[in-house]
Structure 1
Amino acid sequence: MLMKAALMETLLEKFYKNHQILHKESFMLNQQNMKIFTQSWRPYSTLQLKGLVAMVRYNSESSWLFELTSVAIAKAGFLVCAIDLQGHGYSDGLAGHIPNIEPIVSDCIQFFDSIKVDHPKLPAFIYGESLGGAIAILVCLKQKREWNGLILNGLMWEISAKFKPTWPLEKLLPVAAFLAPIWKIVISKPLASKSYKEWKRKLVVKNPNRKAPGKPPMATALELLRVSEYVRRHCHELEVTMLMVHGEDDVVCVYRSARFVYESAASEDKILKFSKYVASVDW
């Protein structure tokens, strides 16, 4: 096991060297005294950094597949940072258990602010993918005018009716979450075959830290539904410059929902681009 870990570390070092990327990882103690895993990537030369990009993704560690996006952005001349959310990756917390989204948002703000303080002259952008986009929206709603831009890739704040739990499960969820908050539930029909392109699915399987696909705990499922409703009611308050990209063929993260956020946002500078691909999802 130790030899495998050492080999992975060596391969990572070669990977970063080949891409001329400086990588840093550490743990942050949050307001709940939990250890939260953090990472950052930047090009070798920091003399001409274009900006800071804070990355958010739900139900996934910030390494491996998501890290490829971080490295690509860093190679383009940006300082990139990300965290493993509570209960995910290397961070403390019961696996997948998020009865309240507020501590998650607070963790993001705490870490991202610490990076911004060290680089006050860099324009700061927040990137959210799938359900991480909903979290990024919540951060921007709390920190109005503190971000230079919001980037949403395959935004998921409302799950397609095709994949919602059958009635009366959804209606009984509040009671079930109260009685058995950590009991796991099928919140949607199987999405694995729809979640990634084929090459991504193969890469996900090879992740040495990959855990078996799990069902979200009752309390988490209920909170995600609450977050969806909150985004629907408050996305019109967004004033940040915004770029949204979404796959027209995405059957899970419905593009009509992305258009709703785009059209509702009060942002004066906003762009919505659709493309022919299936975005990855978090469920």
Structure 2
Amino acid sequence: MDINIRLGNGQVLRGLILSPGDRLRAVVIMVHGLGEHIFRYEAWAKKFNMIDIGFAGVDLPGHGRSDGKRGHIKSYRDLYEMLDILISEAGKTFNGLPVFIYGHSLGGNVVLSYLLKQSPRIRGAIVTSPWLRLAFQPSEAKIKAAAFMKHFLPAMVQASGLVTEHLCHDTEVVEKYRKDKLVHDKISLKLFSEAVKSAGYILSHSEELKIPLLIMHGDSDMITSSEATAGFARKAPHTQLKIWEGGYHELHNEPFRDQVFSEISGWIEKRLSAR
């Protein structure tokens, strides 16, 4: 089922809810990565439905079918508001069932920042391949230039530099990504600067995490740094770390995706049975 939510700034974000029906035991709210859209997770959503867990998510501002200039997000506050709305709507739609938030890549950055700054009332969070540090770090000069220029040209976009072959080992997934008209390779100066700032905050405040977290990364990820993820996990309380040997960026699209899902579902089951 398609869903729309409206932010306070007037932007409409479009996405989907998939539910297994009366058997529902919990719901996962998904936050996708840079340049993609929520419907790339439809098959993943159906896996959750098969174990009686609902799935909901929207395209980020400036992504997919949502409003906004491609690759530009005006403020991280808009993303926190997005999650506030989705959690509230999930509570109403799914009658107060346990909620989990799941963020991938940029979405992982957003989710971790949200957990640390907002302390939402959820059962737990799953994060994969978060943008805490890029695998190939931009120069300090580029980072400072973006931080300076965002004040004058915040919505100016540039190519993200993504190498699609680095997404996963499944060539069919990579080819489908290339042909997907809802995918883009843009990032604005403001979004880049905000993501870098957010990553720094997350890494320096990891010890303040209060919500149970499963965080996973492939050790062959050439997009975001698995070492940064491991460093965060070493300091963060209530955190379970899983590093996947040979894994690229999109663990949910790797040939061993079933094992990845089993890791996630097993962790969720433990959280559901803990109360």
Q: TM-score range by the shorter chain?
A: 0.7 to 0.9
Corresponding position of 1:141: 116
Cα distance in 2 for partners of 1:129, 1:172 equals: 27
Q: Residues 83-138 of structure 1: CA distance to partner in whole angstroms, max 9, x if unpaired?
A: 11111111111111124211112112112211113334421111111121111112
In structure 2, the CA distance between the partners of 1:147 and 1:119, relative to structure 1 (3 Å rule), is same
1:197-276 correspondence runs (5 A): 197=169, 198-207=171-180, 209-211=181-183, 213-267=184-238, 270-276=239-245
Amino acid at match of 1:176: M
The match for 2:14 among 34, 37, 40 is 37
The 5 A counterparts of 1:66-105 are 66-105=41-80
- The corresponding residue for 1:192 is 164
Deviation at 1:190, TM superposition (A): 4.4
Describe the SS at the equivalent of 2:194.
helix
Contact 1:99 1:223 in 2 (8 A): no
Identity of aligned residues (%): 20
Which residue number corresponds to residue 7 of structure 1?
Answer: none
1:25 and 2:36 aligned: no
* Structure 2 residue aligned with 1:171: 144
Q: Is the Cα–Cα contact under 8 Å of residues 204 and 210 in structure 1 kept in the other structure?
A: no
Distance of 1:249 and 1:174 partners within structure 2: 29
More deviation in 238-247 or 196-205? 196-205
CA-based RMSD: 2.1
1:145 CA displacement: 5.7
Structure 2 CA distance for aligned equivalents of residues 62 and 137 of structure 1: 19
Query: Contact (CA 8 Å) 2:65, 2:182: kept in 1 or not?
Result: no
Q: Is the Cα contact below 8 Å between 1:40 and 1:80 reproduced in 2?
A: yes
Could you tell me how far 1:143 is from its partner in structure 2? 4.1
Return the offset for 1:144. Answer: 2.3
Match for residue 270 of structure 2?
none
Contact 2:24–2:54 under 8 Å retained in 1: yes
In structure 2, C-alpha distance between the alignment counterparts of 1:40 and 1:57, rounded to whole Å: 14
Amino acid in the other structure paired with 1:62:
I
Aligned residue identity for 1:173: A
2:37 is the alignment partner of 1:61: yes
State the Cα distance separating 1:40 from its structure 2 match: 0.4
C-alpha offsets along residues 37-94 of structure 1, whole Å, 9 cap, x if unaligned? 1310012x42x3221111111322111x222212221222101100111111111111
The amino acid of 2:157's aligned partner reads K
Q: Identify unmatched segments of 5+ residues in structure 1.
A: 1-23
In 2: Cα distance, 1:145 partner to 1:92 partner: 25
Give the TM-score normalised by structure 2.
0.82
| 1:114–1:190 Cα change, 3 Å | closer
In the alignment, is the contact (CA less than 8 A) between 1:150 and 1:240 conserved in 2? yes
- For the pair 1:49 / 2:21, whether they are aligned, the reply is no
In structure 2, the residue matched to 1:19 is: none
Matched, 1:280 2:250: yes
Kept in 2: contact 1:186–1:216 (CA 8 A) = yes
Q: 1:33 to 1:215 in 2, by over 3 A?
A: closer
Structure 2 CA distance for aligned equivalents of residues 127 and 146 of structure 1: 14
